[in-house]
Structure 1
């Protein structure tokens, strides 16, 4: 019974999140950085080298994502990317969430454009 509640609570908390430095290390070693924000948000600020698929388009574009590579999902604050991470994980892909999104990435002094 305790295991049931532990699983329930962990599901509500969302997927584990990466720090900006952990995310950058994964991307440097070949992970895909997936930006799930809107086109307008991406135009205003983005992380160089990231792939853009808005969250609403993601279910229809799952087959365009590489299998066998880690996918680091990124949004503005980490909420939408947590949803994307769950969607990708449920589809059998190896996905991680960038905690704090591009806001945390930029706050860590990592490159943006």
Structure 2
């Protein structure tokens, strides 16, 4: 499984990179703050929403601490998607949220 740190993600955003972030936390967690531009698909809906994703597009999976996003990353990887898990999740995120 590919991984990336929160610091690396923040640096890429600050450099103007267009990242495809998917936040797999529950709605009440996302309401406390989400990385600007991230798409919210809770972990329980990933299986049903994956038809809306493009297998050629790289995605970075985000959750609270890295566990659920790791599950989502492993699942989507098995389905042929290009996915990376953001280690540490929002608990380690020091960047902007909305």
TM-score when normalising by structure 2: 0.88
Structure 1, unmatched stretches of 5+, are 1-14
User: Residue 50 of structure 1 aligns with which residue?
Assistant: 38
Partners of 1:87 and 1:100 lie apart in 2 by 19
Structure 2, unmatched stretches of 5+, are none
Q: CA deviation at 1:31?
A: 2.8
Kept in 1, the 8 Å contact 2:22–2:38? The answer is yes
Per residue, is there more helix in 1 or in 2?
1
Measured on the aligned residues, the alpha-carbon RMSD in Å equals 1.7
**Alignment: residue pair count:** 96
Per residue, is there more strand in 1 or in 2?
2
- Structure of higher CA gyration radius: 1
TM-score when normalising by structure 1: 0.77
User: Residue 47 of structure 2 aligns with which residue?
Assistant: 59
Q: List structure 1 segments (4+ residues) > 6 angstroms apart after TM superposition.
A: none
Kept in 2, the 8 Å contact 1:35–1:53? The answer is yes
User: Residue 22 of structure 1 aligns with which residue?
Assistant: 8
User: Residue 66 of structure 2 aligns with which residue?
Assistant: 78
- Pairing partner for 2:86 from 95, 98, 107: 98
